[in-house]
Amino acid sequence: MMKNHRVIVIALGGNALIMEGQRGTIAEQFENTRKSLDGIVYCLKQGYGVVITHGNGPQVGNMLLMVEASRNQVPELPLGVCVADTEGAIGYMIQQSLTNRLRKEGIDRCAVTVLTQVIVDKHDKAFSNPTKPIGPFFTEEEAKHFRKEKGWHIVEDSHRGYRRVVASPNPLKIMEERAVKSLLAAGDIVIAAGGGGIPVIMKEDGDLEGVDVVIDKDLASGVLARDIKADCLMMLTGVEHVFLNFKQPNERALKALTVKEAERYLKEGHFPPGSMGPKIQAAINFLNWGGEVAIIAAIDKVKEALEGIAGTKITKD
């Protein structure tokens, strides 16, 4: 039993499974997954209870392409089911890769994937303002057809064609939090809230119902960390630090931030919504909810980040 151990939630970025320039084959994804495990194994050896979350953007995009290619041949899969499908598939890749690595390291622990439903508010203003592009590009004629036939919100995307956009409401609660806590207490490594989790609403009678939206992975990771009372939220990405004026002549790496500083920089527009913004917001949320520390670091710098010599550490003050 590990009831008294410190708990860390590690959020793997989208680059963990499909690297830039790759086709995203299963063989490539397994190889990339194996390469992403060093930091997780280090945390285990340091005595942490570990929960892993991950992105699924490229995988959901590929699945929606398959759905589109098989239109009129097999029943269409809604977006929420595609999210669930990829959460299970990616969880399997991480789970198997980690199981093999643990055996080689002589660590007697079990890795378990939990398909995770995440509650969103059906009245969230995001539902009336869908902004998250997903799936394949369409021609203008196809866009008109799908707007009429399916009621999709479709917009022109950077002059490359037309794409469906969906809402990205804020996550409120992890439905399977008790299962995650029980598995952690038994000493298991838990993979949960993949791709932000499967978005659901709670109806008036208490029943859950899936909705075709997407949830930001980092925001969901923060909610999961809150719900299981984790000590640390670590978000791994493709850069070594959080930067001000990123990729500008006057860019500056931030090695430490307080919540107040993070809130100010976020308000000033230093962290765009499509990149660092959700990570900063997730860190702020987690710390305001009672978390101890949030860390944003490169995927190969977990040890150094926990030692305070890499990454960006965010604290309450």
Q: Which residues carry out catalysis?
A: 14-15, 132, 217, 279
Distance CA 95, CA 89 (A): 10
Find out whether 43 and 50 touch, Cβ atoms under 8 Å: yes
Rounded Cα distance between 95 and 134, Å, is: 26
Q: Whole-angstrom Cα distance, residue 203 to residue 226?
A: 24
